[in-house]
Amino acid sequence: MVTGLSAVVFVADMVDPSDPMGRTYREVNLERQHQLSIGSLVELDSGARMFVAELGRDCDGSPIYWLAAARDHSDRSKWYGGVGEESLELIRGAVTADHARP
């Protein structure tokens, strides 16, 4: 018999003490917009350069990205995914006409 499950609280559902409106971490993160557009050339912390193929959200609502080695990113099996903005740097002058999607 499992007991105490009602006491389980996910960090994303806790109130962010730095938020003046008293919102949860998830609510704060869902307000954040993606800073990179689909088709943008980015560099990872490792130095590898890839293209933004898709925009998504982590379980806590944080913006994340799926990356592809080529601009033709139709083969999802070759994507590298779930990368946060803090691990990516935009390579200026290499953005395509694609626009960011929420």
Architecture of the domain defined by 5-90: Roll (2.30)
Along the 102 residues of the chain, how does pLDDT read in single tens digits?
Answer: 556 566 788 999 999 999 999 999 999 999 999 999 999 999 999 999 999 999 999 999 999 999 999 887 778 888 998 999 999 999 986 544 444 444
Alpha helices in the chain (DSSP H): 25-31
Integer Cα distance of 58 and 79 in angstroms: 16
Which of 69-82 are b and which e, b meaning 16 or more Cβ less than 10 Å from the residue's Cβ? Answer: eeeebeeeeebeee
Q: What is residue 35's predicted lDDT score, i.e. its pLDDT? A: 94
Q: What is residue 5's predicted lDDT score, i.e. its pLDDT? A: 61
Which of 84-99 are b and which e, b meaning 16 or more Cβ less than 10 Å from the residue's Cβ? Answer: ebeebebeeeebeeee
pTM of the entire predicted model:
0.77
